[in-house]
Amino acid sequence: MTETELKTLLSGITPPDEAARAAAHAHWAGLAKPLGGLGALETLLEDAAALTGSAALDVSRRAVLVLCSDNGVVAQGVSQTDQSVTRAVAENLAARRTSVCQMARTAHCDVVPVDMGMAGDPVPGVADCRIAAGTADFTQGPAMTRAQAVEAVGRGIRLVQEQKAAGVQLLATGEMGIGNTTTSSAVAAVLLGQPVERMTGRGAGLSDEGLARKVDAICRGILRNEPDPTDPLDVLAKLGGFDLAGLCGVFLGGALEGVPVVMDGFISGVAALCAVRLCPAAAKAVFASHCSSEPAARLVLDALGKAPLLTAGLHLGEGTGAVASLPLWDMALAVYDHCYSFAEGGITPYTPQC
């Protein structure tokens, strides 16, 4: 995909359907329960109606896309393990043995591991969307070319299109890539204009010394590459990862195709931020799941104007937080579709008192 083709696609993203949102709101108001009694579960479905254009909702077919890639910045000692772990986890994702696989089985959700750019040979059972065998070390220069960033975004969009064509109605986002909290912190620091120290956490359990190396690497990467905070593709290309750019495309694809996309934690939140900076109307497809314990997670949610359904101190990755929220969608829809109405119950409807 070229940048021109990407811009043409994004111009087709329309605003939310407010008539469908109002119809979903009216349906909730007719059910025999206190008005707004299910809080965020009600607005969740109203937002989904506004995205899909229909107050009749079905998300029984769902999948979590786990985008995997390696990041050259691990050479700077920013992670507790080396990049071989990315491949090892990808192999276990393909074998359906990881944490998100167990949770997804319970949530009736398919798991789709995707290779966006891992080192080494392709992993059997992992979808091949690889751009290259990992990004470059951004302390030495750009992580990728601008053309690679655009292509990664495009492949994320195509993943959504393929999933929708297969009948999937709801997507959750996940990722696996040693060093990707470093790339995400770097991108977020630039896009939000925040100090690197405020945007950087311990990832998978760094020591104080490791955290200091991580902050230093990000600072050096920003100084070396001078990313333009008004140009999300420039920031992604210079400081991001193929997984981050692919996830950005997934959120854009959700907006294009009318498919709700549930973001996981900090990393997919940064990808959603990139998507919304590229196309503000894409925000309609972004659904928050939880607030990660990464220090900048709340800042990213606030920047997106999204409220999490869960706050449980999760920071595992793989899409576990997004998948953990899916049963709440099911419970909301159970009431929405099957609760009796005021009329059916012979009860006088509630009316707003303020």
Active-site residues, by number, are 318
Residue pair 320/289 in contact (Cβ under 8 Å)? The answer is no
Task: Provide the 10 A C-beta neighbour count for residue 315.
Answer: 20
Residues recorded for the chain: 354
Residue pair 314/293 in contact (Cβ under 8 Å)? The answer is yes
CA distances from 253 to 58, 162, 248, 350 (A): 19, 10, 9, 39
Task: Provide the 10 A C-beta neighbour count for residue 60.
Answer: 12
Exposure pattern of 274-291 as b/e (b: 16+ CB <10 Å)?
bbbbbbebbbbbbbbbbb
CA distance 257 to 21: 17
Angle, CA of 129, 247 and 77, to the nearest 5°:
90
Residue pair 95/88 in contact (Cβ under 8 Å)? The answer is no
Task: Provide the 10 A C-beta neighbour count for residue 75.
Answer: 15
- Measure CA 354 to chain center: 36
- Measure CA 66 to chain center: 10
